[in-house]
Amino acid sequence: MYEFNLAGLLPYTGPLPGAVLSTLWLSALAILLSILVGMLGALCRVSASLILRFAGAAYVEVLRNIPLLVVIYLIFFGLAQVGLRVDGFNSALIALTLNAGAYMTEIFRGGLLAIPRGQYEAARSQGMTGLQLYRYVVFPQVFRIIYAPLGNLIIGIVISSSLASVIGVEEVTTWMRRAGDETFRYMEAFFAVGVIYVLLAQAINIGRIVTGNWLLSKAPVGARR
Amino acid sequence: MKVMRRSVLATVATGLFVGLVALSSAAEAQQPQGGVLSDVLKRGTIRIATIGGNPPYSSLGTDGKPVGYDIDVANMLAEQLKVKAEFIVVDVPGRITALQTKRADVTFANFTANVERSKVIAFTDPYVVVGSIYMVKKDSPLQSVEQLNDPKYKIGFARGGTAEGISATTAPRAQKVRFDTVGDAYLAMQSGQVDSHLQDSLQNASYMAKDGDKYRNLPGNWSYEEISIGLPAGDFDWWRVLNIFVKNFNASGDNARLFKKHFGYELPPIQQKY
Amino acid sequence: MSTDPAPPVLKIAGLVKRYGPHIVIDGVDLDVVPGQVVVIVGPSGTGKSTLLRCVNGLEDIQGGSILFEEQPVLSRSRTIHAIRRRIGMIFQSFNLYPHLSALENVMLAPVKVLGEPAKEVEERARGLFRKVRLEHRAHAFPSQLSGGEQQRVAIARALAMNPHLLMFDEPTSALDPETVGDVLTVMEDLATEGRTMLVVTHEIGFARHVGHRMIFMDGGKIVEDRPPADMITDPQNARTKQFLGSILQH
């Protein structure tokens, strides 16, 4: 007979806040870093340089075709075998960043391709350098275009961060397993963590919407609507 | 903000959905039982939970099917019951949940009987008795478990096993790194991600037989564990059958033979001298 | 007008532009002095737009030279940004920044590229909106503006940089006929102010009333270069005659 009883988890709620913070921190860092990787990767993929285009395409194809779990193992165990010891948290962060960065690259590339040539020419004709052009003209438009797929991917990163548990990172999924191990309330632990992930993903999503609205509403030159 | 309200709604809706699913599966698990023994005989199949990545007890062969000592023991049980053996590969904590949720009829998986677990599932008499050993790399500076009990050292082990409690009492101050399988924890020690691997003493013996030039053990055996067959709680008929099987298995020499085949040395005595 | 003693703002000599084996500009020489309005006409695909794009380094060139205020225009050099800041370019398709309001479109480059204080730029921008007769539309977004309005914002955007040369690349070709007049009026005002302008257009009326020089290009070459009234009433070259004939029939 299985009696579903969430209260059975109560003795083990102590480590939960730390686990939630760990998941949030890992996800937030991975999101920020993978956005940077995605922007650079996309610029490589649309670059005039054949070498950069090839490097960008190779990165995307390789990383998209290796399961995240394998990337985590490769970094945590593989690099350690050759003497480069990266701890669990950072291994997971690097793996998440590389994996999500590949998807970000494709999303940003799609956004870049949707910007008409005329925008580049108008910006260049005003004397903008490459950096100014991307910062003030191209990427603000790209972010508007990729807003929805970006949100999906960001939630995906939060969800995927649970794989960090396989290399001993103390985060929400690890908490779930230990809480189950210690209380034998596995079903309740699964359930609680399911709800926690929904809340975390939504918290990050709300964060995305708020920062997005703030960024998008922010007039770049001090003028206000 | 409209979007935010929408996402809050989504959260609530998802929470409700997850809740309903969980409750309905819990309700399913509460159906009255007709007894596992009669179910197994009627079905003609015994569902056996086991774990991968835990040689020589059980691991997944090249064809993805489980192999090992526990697998052979389980097959012998199926043979004697004259039913088909169907293996369900779970993770370490899954050994208990599979029985709790009635997804498996038995668990054969290097499974230590203890009081804590007996609150939710049942165990037979043991067919092997093991201890727990801290293994380190040969060139490690560590000489004793007292030394290891230091926040600068990391102990790796498979989560959901007895190592959790043993490491907490023997080296409470060291960092603990939990892995999904024994194999991962062993690999973590090999690659230097942890300083010591807390492992089953029999497993340790076979690791040492294979890689004894690379590793050594810290002195001390830190547990007495009876490896037994796990079964759902509260089913006396099923327990009675399984326990008879274990007694005969131990007495007949079948155990000694299978153990030697997989571990490469003689089965240590199962009766502990107190 | 061509007797103006001031040194040329723009000096093009022997310019050659090729795309692979295809020659688009085939040895063009052209000097533009300050205050001059030069109108370039000719059949499509004859290198007029490419010529403008070469002048502000949007295209690299394969032969000859372009000097803008005595500096060579080299598309990949470090000096190109500084040169472009002094040349205003107006495109056929406006190319306003869609994520910014009209006012922000005008202010972006002066603030971010020239580093001028936003307050001053805003004041200047408001003046420019009056000049292009759009002071009431400063806070609209490009998608809310008609083609003619967008093109006038684009003109204001170019003017905000205080350019020494304005280049118009078929500024009215993408417009509905009823809005063409507004844009041409603004361009005429600019010419009256004494702005130096290089205009690629099919608006022969504009060329006749506003232009100081009219250049007919064909096959990547300058075929005829004369005061507009002379060329329109008495084209010398057979191809010029044929081209003007076909345009004026409409």
Residues of C in contact with A140 (CB under 8 A): 99
Residues of A in contact with C99 (CB under 8 A): 140-141, 144, 216
Q: Compute the distance between CA of residue A138 and CA of residue A129 in angstroms, rounded to an integer.
A: 12
Regarding whether B249 and B190 lie in a shared domain, the answer is no
Q: How far is CA C197 from the centre of its chain?
A: 6
Domain count, chain B: 2
Chains C and A, touching by 3 or more CB pairs within 8 angstroms: yes
- Residue of B2, B6, B7 to mutate, testing the A interface (most A Cβ within 10 Å of its Cβ): B7
- Which residues make Cβ contacts (< 8 Å) with residue C201, sequence separation at least 6? C39, C40, C41, C168, C170, C171, C172, C173, C207
Whether residue A132 contacts residue A126, with contact meaning beta carbons closer than 8 Å, is answered with no
Query: Do the Cβ atoms of A118 and C95 come within 8 Å?
Result: yes
Domain coordinates in residue numbering, chain C: 95-163
Summarised one tens digit per residue, pLDDT across range C147-176 is: 999 999 999 999 999 999 999 999 999 898
Q: In the structure, what pLDDT confidence band is assigned to residue B50 with cuts at 50, 70 and 90? A: very high
Residue B27 lies in a domain: no
Pull the structure tokens for residue A198. 């929904």
Domain coordinates in residue numbering, chain A: 16-217
Q: What is the mean pLDDT of residues A210-215?
A: 75
Q: In the structure, what pLDDT confidence band is assigned to residue B22 with cuts at 50, 70 and 90? A: low
Return the higher-pLDDT residue of B22 and C149: C149
- Residue of A81, A202, A205, A209 to mutate, testing the B interface (most B Cβ within 10 Å of its Cβ): A202
Any A CB within 8 A of B9 CB: no
Regarding whether B210 and B125 lie in a shared domain, the answer is no
Regarding whether B76 and B41 lie in a shared domain, the answer is yes
Question: Read out DSSP for C8-55?
Answer: PSEEEEEEEEEETTEEEEEEEEEEE-TT-EEEEE--TTSSHHHHHHHH
Query: Nearest CA to CA, how far is A158 from chain C (Å)?
Result: 30
Q: What is the mean pLDDT of residues A55-64?
A: 95
Residue of C nearest to A143 (CA): C99
Residues of A in contact with B188 (CB under 8 A): 76-77, 80, 167-168
Q: What is the mean pLDDT of residues C189-204?
A: 93
Summarised one tens digit per residue, pLDDT across range A62-91 is: 999 999 999 999 999 988 888 888 999 999
Chains C and B, touching by 3 or more CB pairs within 8 angstroms: no
Residues of A in contact with C100 (CB under 8 A): 219-220
Query: Do the Cβ atoms of A177 and B116 come within 8 Å?
Result: no
Query: Do the Cβ atoms of B29 and A2 come within 8 Å?
Result: yes
Return the higher-pLDDT residue of A46 and B19: A46
Strand ranges (DSSP E) for chain B?
45-51, 59-60, 66-67, 84-90, 106-107, 112-113, 121-130, 132-137, 154-158, 175-179, 196-200, 215-217, 225-232
- Which residues make Cβ contacts (< 8 Å) with residue B114, sequence separation at least 6? B162, B225
Residues of A in contact with B96 (CB under 8 A): 184, 186
Pull the structure tokens for residue C150. 């967008």
Residue of B nearest to A85 (CA): B193
Q: What is the mean pLDDT of residues C79-92?
A: 94
Query: Do the Cβ atoms of C104 and A125 come within 8 Å?
Result: no
- The partner residue sitting opposite C112, judged by closest CB among A125, A144, A221, is A221
- The partner residue sitting opposite A225, judged by closest CB among C81, C89, C101, is C101
Summarised one tens digit per residue, pLDDT across range A90-102 is: 999 999 999 999 9
- Count of beta carbons in the 10 Å neighbourhood of residue C45: 12
Summarised one tens digit per residue, pLDDT across range B67-82 is: 999 999 999 999 999 9
Longest dimension (CA), chain A: 75
Q: Which subunits count as partners of chain B given 3+ CB pairs below 8 Å?
A: A
- The partner residue sitting opposite A191, judged by closest CB among B1, B7, B18, is B18
Whether residue B166 contacts residue B223, with contact meaning beta carbons closer than 8 Å, is answered with yes
Residue B7 lies in a domain: no
- Say whether domain A16-217 belongs to CATH 3.40.50.10090: no
Whether residue C87 contacts residue C32, with contact meaning beta carbons closer than 8 Å, is answered with no
* pLDDT of res. B21: 53
Chain A contacts to C (CB-CB under 8 A): 116, 118-119, 121-129, 132, 136-137, 140-141, 144, 216, 219-223, 225
Question: Read out DSSP for A164-213?
Answer: GGGGT--SHHHHHHHHHHHHS-HHHHHHHHHHHHHHHHHHHHHHHHHHHH
Residue of A nearest to B30 (CA): A1
Any A CB within 8 A of C97 CB: yes
Residue of B nearest to A73 (CA): B184
Return the higher-pLDDT residue of B102 and A212: B102
Within 13 A of B268's CA, how many CA atoms are on the CB side?
Answer: 16
Q: Which long-range contacts does A10-18 make (Cβ < 8 Å, 24+ apart)? A: A11/A182, A11/A183, A12/A178, A12/A179, A12/A182, A12/A183, A15/A170, A15/A175, A15/A178, A16/A175, A16/A179, A18/A170
Whether residue B74 contacts residue B242, with contact meaning beta carbons closer than 8 Å, is answered with no
* pLDDT of res. C6: 74
Size of interface A-B (CB pairs under 8 A): 110
Regarding whether B243 and B119 lie in a shared domain, the answer is yes
Q: In the structure, what pLDDT confidence band is assigned to residue C121 with cuts at 50, 70 and 90? A: very high
Query: What ipTM was predicted for this assembly?
Result: 0.91
* pLDDT of res. B15: 56
Q: Among A104-108, B29-33, B196-200, C198-202, whose mean pLDDT is lowest? A: B29-33
Query: Do the Cβ atoms of C95 and A225 come within 8 Å?
Result: no
* pLDDT of res. A179: 85
Summarised one tens digit per residue, pLDDT across range B151-180 is: 999 999 998 888 999 999 999 999 999 998
Q: In the structure, what pLDDT confidence band is assigned to residue B32 with cuts at 50, 70 and 90? A: very low
Residue of A nearest to B29 (CA): A2
Can you tell me which residue has the tokens 């910062």?
A135
* pLDDT of res. A220: 47
* pLDDT of res. A203: 84
* pLDDT of res. B5: 57
In sign, the C-alpha dihedral spanning A102, A107, A109, A110 is positive
Residue B234 lies in a domain: yes
Query: Do the Cβ atoms of C95 and A116 come within 8 Å?
Result: yes
Q: Compute the distance between CA of residue B45 and CA of residue B42 in angstroms, rounded to an integer.
A: 8
In sign, the C-alpha dihedral spanning B235, B238, B239, B240 is positive
Residues of A in contact with B97 (CB under 8 A): 180, 186-187
Domain that holds residue B145: 132-217
Percentage of chain C lying above the pLDDT 90 cut: 77
- Which residues make Cβ contacts (< 8 Å) with residue B144, sequence separation at least 6? B218, B219, B220
- Average pLDDT over all residues of chain C: 91
Any A CB within 8 A of B221 CB: no
Any A CB within 8 A of C85 CB: yes
Q: What is the mean pLDDT of residues A191-211?
A: 87
- The answer, yes or no, to whether residue A207 has pLDDT greater than 90, is no
Residue of B nearest to A212 (CA): B3
Q: Compute the distance between CA of residue A79 and CA of residue A156 in angstroms, rounded to an integer.
A: 25
Query: Do the Cβ atoms of A223 and C81 come within 8 Å?
Result: no
- The answer, yes or no, to whether residue C112 has pLDDT greater than 80, is yes
Residues of C in contact with A128 (CB under 8 A): 81, 109, 112-113
Residues of A in contact with C103 (CB under 8 A): 223
Residues of A in contact with B190 (CB under 8 A): 81
Q: What is the mean pLDDT of residues C104-121?
A: 95
With CA atoms as reference, report the closest residue to A73 among B166, B191, C8, B226. Answer: B191
Q: In the structure, what pLDDT confidence band is assigned to residue B14 with cuts at 50, 70 and 90? A: low
CATH number for the domain that contains residue B161: 3.40.190.10
- Residue of C97, C144, C155 to mutate, testing the A interface (most A Cβ within 10 Å of its Cβ): C97
* pLDDT of res. A219: 44
Residue B3 lies in a domain: no
Q: How many residues does chain B have?
A: 274
Q: Compute the distance between CA of residue A216 and CA of residue C129 in angstroms, rounded to an integer.
A: 24
At residue B131's C-alpha, the angle toward residues B129 and B132, to 5°, is 150
- Which residues make Cβ contacts (< 8 Å) with residue C63, sequence separation at least 6? C14, C15, C16, C27
Query: Do the Cβ atoms of C95 and A140 come within 8 Å?
Result: no
Cis amide bond preceding B56, omega within 30: yes
- Which residues make Cβ contacts (< 8 Å) with residue B91, sequence separation at least 6? B51, B160, B180, B181
Residue B119 lies in a domain: yes
- The partner residue sitting opposite A126, judged by closest CB among C101, C103, C113, is C113
- The answer, yes or no, to whether residue A199 has pLDDT greater than 80, is yes
Q: In the structure, what pLDDT confidence band is assigned to residue A104 with cuts at 50, 70 and 90? A: very high
Whether residue B69 contacts residue B57, with contact meaning beta carbons closer than 8 Å, is answered with yes
Residues of A in contact with C113 (CB under 8 A): 126-128, 132
Any A CB within 8 A of B182 CB: no
Any A CB within 8 A of C250 CB: no
Residue window 50-69, chain B: list those with CB within 8 Å of chain A: none
